[in-house]
Copies of this chain bind each other. A is one copy, B any other.
């Protein structure tokens, strides 16, 4: 092969490499974004679960209080 052909190949490869590296950067940025989004979602989910757990405890105490009320009513009926 002649020097000319090698140069043509080199230039073509340089261009291709440049394009591939550019695509690479784009992919890395997308991956970073997605990872951050995923992390955000998992944090949200944890916060949501904590709120639901507080709600569950509140519901527990309401059920307990209704049960006390029920017992008071039962005693009233038997004692009346």
Binding site for B on A (CB under 8 A): 1-3, 6-7, 9-10, 13-14, 16-17, 20-21, 23-24, 27-28, 30-31, 34-35, 37-38, 41, 44-45, 48-49, 51-53, 55-56, 58-60, 62-63, 65-67, 69-70, 72-74, 76-77, 80
Contacts and interface: CB of A to CB of B under 8 A. Distances in A.
A67 B38 CA distance: 34
B73 A59 contact: yes
14 contacts: A1-B3, A3-B6, A6-B10, A13-B17, A24-B24, A27-B27, A38-B38, A48-B80, A52-B76, A55-B72, A55-B76, A59-B70, A63-B63, A63-B67
Contacts of A16: 17
